[in-house]
Structure 1
Amino acid sequence: MASILFRGFMVIAVMFAVVLAWLYWGMSGPRISELFITEGFLKLPLPLAPPIESLPTGDNVMEKAGQWGDGFGALNALFAGLAFTGALAALFMQGHAADKQNKDYHRQRFESSYFELLALLRETRREVRFRYSLPYRKANKIATSSERSKVQTEAAAFRTAMYELRYLVRTRTTATRRTQAQLEKLYRLGIHARFESTFGPYFRIVYTILRRIKDDKVLSEPEKIQYSNLLRSQLTSHELALAGFNGLMPQANDFDALLTEFHMLKYLPTGIARRALEEVYDPTAFAARDD
């Protein structure tokens, strides 16, 4: 803003100086003409008087005055050019200021929409439900009457779902045979097919937030990193791990690419879920930003 004001001040100062010079030249014209025509050069102070032999005399008086007058045409063209340049500079500065104002307004609207989506994400989290499957309860000897066998909500739902998914990865795959298709199938049958109505909307909001950050044409790269980091700070490690598995599904479009681009999985704790995802995701998803 300071540089724009300084440039504006300089343009105004230059234009003001040009106008003053033009006015002074125009106001001095009659007097200078009179000096030419009446041979009044002799009346000038000695330091300013030209050599006598150079003064116009006789027939060439009007010719000299005419030559002096013709100089106004070139000066008028010069001043017109300067005025046009000043007008262009003013238009450029005005356009630059308007563009900056539009970008600032866009950022305000983006930020407002962004925090509204975060609020919606928190509301949707409250609606998430999950219950251990019967095979899992039998394998882990969870009594039907126990608290653990009941439907879990909010953060507990993500934690419970992640416990069962880790169990499926551990018992249905081996470290040397894990593929994206295997992990996608385990998530689809163990989580998605049973509780898609609650998990699906939640992860679609996460996807929408990341997509809006990526596609925004005004936000700078540091701003995009800041907003994605803020989103990641809102998610627990269980939510991030489940998002990683959810991103492997065909219905997730490019959710896995967004998770990778914004390094969303880099803080996953060491364990079987992280190891499994590391085998199918690009290392960038787990890398620190400086890497």
Structure 2
Amino acid sequence: MWFLVAVFFVATLGFLVVWWLVAKMKQPRSLRDWVLIGLPTASVLLLWMLGWTVIPHFFGRPNSAGAAGDMFGSITSLFSGLAFVGLIVTLVLQRSELSLQRKELSETREEFQRQRFEARYFSTLNLLNQHIRNMRLPSDEESRDLRGSAVLEYFASELPNEQDPDLTLGAHGEMQIAQYLQLYDILFEPNLGPYFRLMYNCVRQIENSGASEEEKEAYSKILRAQLSSPEVKLLMFNCSTSWGEEFKPWVEKYRLLKHLPREFKEHNPWLSSGFRHLEE
């Protein structure tokens, strides 16, 4: 009689615990969740009920209430041990979960930094292209003023070659640079000054982005693909002067003069020899 009452009490208590757990869960449970909740509860109830039949079979029925309580001491010890093991497993799982969360957080932070870099980089690249479109060079003749990329083409056409008859024979690069700087101060600076500074900022952002070398190369190719032949010529001259000495190592690293016209390189062998990637 007392056995049936105890079984009913424990079964009722187990049902109430499961019902309370389910009520606390806001989202609907799947079959797997019900199994994970119900299987341990049923296992505990089954093991408890077996204790009433298996233990007395080997050790005989208890003669007092104290002996009946002691009969389940082994089961209590078993569950205490299992609870300790469960605690250790929980700590291990939490540690693994925290490790995964830190990894995801790191990846999220890297992705955010990459997106922020790309936003700044392409914004600066857009400013560079916008500056080119807004370039304007007044004309002294009756023809229209030069605008946009036509200004860069005109500047490039004014660059002195080594074979220029106006240069002293054998003077080579020194005279070329001196003549370029003179043209820069008189004619080029209002347009080319902001132009080169914007380009320098584009490359500096790539260099300081924290991206891998392969990614940096990919970003630099976007810039390099937009450089026209006149722009490459002007960049070579600028990086051969004191104005571009800080920019030159990055021009070398990212091979920004790669598409320098072959004829122009042949007409300016002294200046071209100052850039290693042009000799490859």
Q: What interval of TM-score do these two structures reach, taking the shorter chain for normalisation? A: 0.5 to 0.7
Identify the residue that residue 27 of structure 2 maps to in structure 1: none
Deviation at 1:188, TM superposition (A): 2.1
For normalisation by structure 1, the TM-score amounts to 0.66
Q: Which deviations, in whole Å up to 9, do the C-alpha atoms of 1:106-133 show, x marking residues without a partner?
A: 333333333322221122113445699x
Rounded to whole Å, the distance in 1 between the matches of 2:97 and 2:217 is: 36
CA RMSD after TM alignment? 3.9
Structure 1 segments unaligned to the other structure (5+ residues): 1-13, 40-54, 133-143
Give the equivalent residue in structure 1 for 2:3.
Answer: none
Mapped contact 1:260–1:281 kept (Cα < 8 A):
yes
Q: Give the direction of change, closer, same or farther, for the CA distance of 1:145–1:65 in structure 2 (3 Å limit).
A: closer
1:241 aligns with 2:233: yes
Q: Supply the distance in 2 between the matched residues of 1:113 and 1:174 (Cα, whole angstroms).
A: 47
Equivalent position of 1:108 in the other structure: 115
Secondary structure of the residue aligned to 1:165 is: coil
- Equivalent pairs: percent with the same residue? 22
Where do 1:120-135 residues align within 5 Å?
A: 120-128=127-135
Alignment partners' CA distance in 1, 2:224 and 2:192: 17
Query: SS of the residue aligned with 2:94?
Result: helix
- Alignment equivalent of 1:81, drawn from 82, 85, 88: 88
Give the secondary structure class of the aligned counterpart of 1:266. Answer: coil
The letter of the residue matching 2:215 is E
Which amino acid in the other structure matches residue 244 of structure 1? Answer: M
Q: Who is 1:48 aligned against?
A: none
Aligned partner of 2:23 in structure 1 is none
Could you say if the C-alpha distance between residues 126 and 36 of structure 1 is closer, same or farther in structure 2, counting changes exceeding 3 Å? Answer: same
| CA pair 209-145 structure 1, distance change in 2 beyond 3 A | closer
What do the CA deviations read for 1:170-216 (whole angstroms, capped 9, x no partner)? 454778x756x665444322324542222110011111111111211
- Could you give the per-residue CA deviations for residues 138-191 of structure 1, whole angstroms, max 9, x where no partner exists? xxxxxx8586xx97443222222222223367454778x756x66544432232
CA distance in 1, matches of 2:168, 2:119: 44
Between the aligned partners of 2:261 and 2:198, the Cα distance in structure 1 is 23
More moved, 226-235 vs 257-266: 226-235
Change (3 A) 1:62 1:113: same
CA distance in 2: counterparts of 1:128 and 1:168, whole angstroms: 28
Displacement of 1:242 after TM fit?
Answer: 1.0
Any residues of structure 2 matched to 1:1-291 within 5 Å, and which? 22-39=40-57, 55-56=58-59, 65-128=72-135, 152-167=146-161, 170-171=164-165, 172=167, 184-192=177-185, 194-217=187-210, 219-252=211-244, 254-273=246-265, 275-283=269-277
- 2: distance between equivalents of 1:146 and 1:100? 60
- Contact kept? 2:239, 2:247, Cα under 8 Å: yes
Aligned to 1:166, the other structure's residue is in SS state coil
Q: Quote the Cα distance in structure 2 between the aligned partners of 1:169 and 1:33.
A: 107
Q: Is the 8 A contact 2:152 2:230 kept in 1?
A: yes
Compare 75-84 and 58-67 and name the one that shifted more: 58-67
Matching residue's letter, 1:119: N
| Separation in structure 2 between the aligned mates of residue 119 and residue 261 of structure 1, nearest angstrom | 23
One-letter amino acid of the structure 1 residue matched with residue 155 of structure 2: A
Q: AA paired with 1:215?
A: N
